Structure 1
Amino acid sequence: MSEQEKELRVLRDQIDTIDRNIHELLNKRASCAQNVAEVKEKYQGEQSAVFYRPEREAQVLRTVMERNEGPLADKEIARLFREIMSVCLALEEPMRVAFLGPEGTFTQQAAMKHFGHSAHNMPMQSLKDVFREVQSGAAHYGVVPIENSSEGVVNHTLDLFKQFNLKICGEVEVPIHLHLLLNKGDSMDEIAKIYSHEQSLAQSRGWLDARYPHIDKVAVSSNAEAARLVMQEGHGYAAVAGDMAAELYDLDAVVKNIEDQADNTTRFLIIGDQDVGPSGDDKTSILVSVPDAPGALYQLLEPFHRYELSLTRVETRTSAKHSLFYIDFEGHSEDKLVQKALAELTKESVELKVLGSYPKAVL
């Protein structure tokens, strides 16, 4: 045995020992999670036990990142713990998560990023179906898009918050990376038609127009549907979509990251029927309707300035008599300053709906 082989043998023996310890600790953690479920069911009474606590999960992930000493990056170690928690939570109760389908979309990617791979993902045909599944109890939570850094807010999602009595329980941000997908063996020089969702076509318009100015670009219902069509129709067709769609339909990403904005990001909301407690680093979202009059926006925002509450998003929609504002701001509805601001808004508004307080996105 060479000296190199001897040194490697020592290191591999150390790794084997560490792996055994990790394995033992993982099973201990899983057993503890099962005990948590038993305690919750014991003291819950007639109501259904709540196994998933967004604020608790956010606190755990933040702690993991704060105590991390490397060499693994903070977010990488947090992703590992995210999956550990997902597996353990599935032992307590399998999580049913509705999302805007079909499979292979960025919304499914957001669902998996937030809940881990052990949750049961349920693709829905429309945003309204996602809200309906959660409100009926068929799904524990839903994942819906709310805003894109280049395309703006998703107004249909805001409209549905007015129709359904659901809460925002969390948020997740997904970097949007778009690739040119072809069937294996196809050439970029033989593309006759390109499929994608209309937003993805818009987000990669510069790249597409520069390289394929005369090729038909066809908008379809989703990026995943675009990838499916390319797989089905075969030679001469391309799709603009992400990694999940490429993997699902076995396509080659011949050119990666063709989006016009390198920092393009979509923010998704987690919707459910529970109020979420403070995690220590939270946001609150509200819908507020005020009379359409000069100075209405100033009067609405003034309490946030006075109580030093940082706004992260303000979206305005105006009707004949009223202005509707969607507002995100830092803080939790249980915070005293937030409560004072909301009390003043209630006096000045026609309608105020607190959509929820929830942890800021960790990953």
Structure 2
Amino acid sequence: MDLTKLREQIDAIDGQIVELYEQRMEISRQVAEYKIETGKKVFDKEREAQKIRSVKSMTHNEFNSHGVEELFEQIMSMSRKLQYQMLTEKGSIGRLPFIGMDRLSLEDARVVFPGAEGAYTQAAMKQYFGKDVNNFHVETFRDAMIAIDEGSADYAVLPIENSTAGIVSEIYDMLVEFENYIVGEQIIKIEHCLMAAPGTKLEDIKTVYSHPQSLMQSSKYLQEHAAWKQISMNNNAFAAKKVSEDKDNTQAAIASAYAAETYGLEILEKGINHSSTNSTRFIIVTNQKIFLKDAKKVSICFEVPHESGSLYHMLSHFIYNNLNMNKIESRPTPDRNWEYRFFIDFDGNLADSAVKNALRGLRDEARNMKILGNY
């Protein structure tokens, strides 16, 4: 057996495949032109399923049948992407329901944040909007979402991710539930402090209050004090407020130095979170479908059919359009066990043709695709 001759045969076949591929894509271009003229959808799921069944029937063993299925899924995927691109170029993609703005309207704006005075969320709000911003606070994340949904606030500031503890899953779920949209973000460094009523000593403490994520971020320190009971609160600032009001030397809170100052507590230990680079990302949310013209990140979510390779095909829209995907998360889909909704952040602006092209493909091929914001 001559390996060189075998390779020559493969090269010749590959040349034929490339030639046939280009012929097929040219016909796909003509199909796109027809669809543009007639207003037909690009994605015809039943037609593609029939095609897959047909080409699989032409093979002679199970291995080749599976390989041909994967090959033609990719060929048809590339054909769709070409057609989406042509729709974008011809202006047939339709307008996204978001309005581009030069800047956010902050005059007379009212901002809501969850928690109490002294919360990290309040610090993030002041860094983003300025210290003199008109603001008020509510007890829970949901209360903040409701406030902007019903119009009692123009913007809300919400924590969405911590660099060590991960995502705030409740916020992800509510971005789907509410018709509210991300228009900005603020990242602040987190330094947790152990604080208590003035005069308290470490040996007096029996109970520590804080948000679950803050307890998690301080777990190594808390392991050194295993006898302390840990109690979760909705917010760090609520924990500091409770300890301040109770004036009980057996209680302590984990919160920011700002919270200690706000509630007149004494800091017993600084920087008890085990990561010195710990940061939290906060999002700025409004009920308006707007985005800044210089925005650089798009957040979306979608569901996929419960089928092999379905997520892979959705992600290919980013690859084909040269879009850099920088985050993907999943959350369970309510009422459908073991099915998931995917949340993706990628670089781009809603005015970019590549972004429009990718979103058009995702809207046609995914389930319940939603643009969460461009910021």
Q: TM-score, normalised by structure 1?
A: 0.70
Amino acid of the residue matched to residue 293 of structure 1?
E
Which 4+ runs in 1 deviate beyond 6 A? none
Deviation at 1:193, TM superposition (A): 2.1
Deviation at 1:155, TM superposition (A): 2.0
2:344 alignment counterpart: 327
Amino acid of the residue matched to residue 276 of structure 1?
F
2:281 alignment counterpart: 267
Where structure 1 has 5 or more consecutive residues not aligned to the other structure, the ranges are 1-52, 58-88, 359-363
Q: Is the 1:54–1:169 Cα contact (8 Å) retained in structure 2?
A: no
SS at match of 1:194: strand
Post-superposition CA distance 1:42-77 (Å, at most 9, x none) = xxxxxxxxxxx98547xxxxxxxxxxxxxxxxxxxx
SS at match of 1:165: coil
2:228 alignment counterpart: 215
Identity of aligned residues (%): 34
| Distance of 1:54 and 1:105 partners within structure 2 | 30
1:161 aligns with 2:175: yes
1:79 alignment counterpart: none
Deviation at 1:295, TM superposition (A): 0.9
Match of 1:179 among 182, 186, 193: 193
| Distance of 2:169 and 2:211 partners within structure 1 | 17
* Equivalent residues in 2 for 1:23-42, closer than 5 Å: none
1:244 alignment counterpart: 258
| Distance of 1:253 and 1:262 partners within structure 2 | 18
- Aligned residue pairs: how many? 271
1:276 aligns with 2:291: yes
1:111 aligns with 2:130: no
Amino acid of the residue matched to residue 238 of structure 1?
A
Match of 1:338 among 355, 358, 361: 355
| Distance of 2:325 and 2:306 partners within structure 1 | 21
1:135 aligns with 2:152: no
Post-superposition CA distance 1:303-325 (Å, at most 9, x none) = 11122211121011344385311
Go from structure 1 to structure 2 and tell me whether the alpha carbon gap of 1:297 and 1:274 turns closer, same or farther (over 3 Å shift). closer
Amino acid of the residue matched to residue 291 of structure 2?
V
Who wins on radius of gyration, i.e. which is larger? 2
Post-superposition CA distance 1:188-219 (Å, at most 9, x none) = 23223222222111110101112x12122222
1:228 alignment counterpart: 241
Post-superposition CA distance 1:124-154 (Å, at most 9, x none) = 1222221221122211111112112222222
Q: Is the 1:289–1:350 Cα contact (8 Å) retained in structure 2?
A: yes
1:351 aligns with 2:364: no
Q: TM-score, normalised by structure 2?
A: 0.68
1:205 alignment counterpart: 219
Post-superposition CA distance 1:202-238 (Å, at most 9, x none) = 110101112x121222222221122122222322322
2:83 alignment counterpart: none
Amino acid of the residue matched to residue 166 of structure 2?
G
* Equivalent residues in 2 for 1:40-51, closer than 5 Å: none
Where structure 2 has 5 or more consecutive residues not aligned to the other structure, the ranges are 1-99
1:121 aligns with 2:138: no
Q: Is the 2:101–2:293 Cα contact (8 Å) retained in structure 1?
A: no
| Distance of 1:274 and 1:354 partners within structure 2 | 10
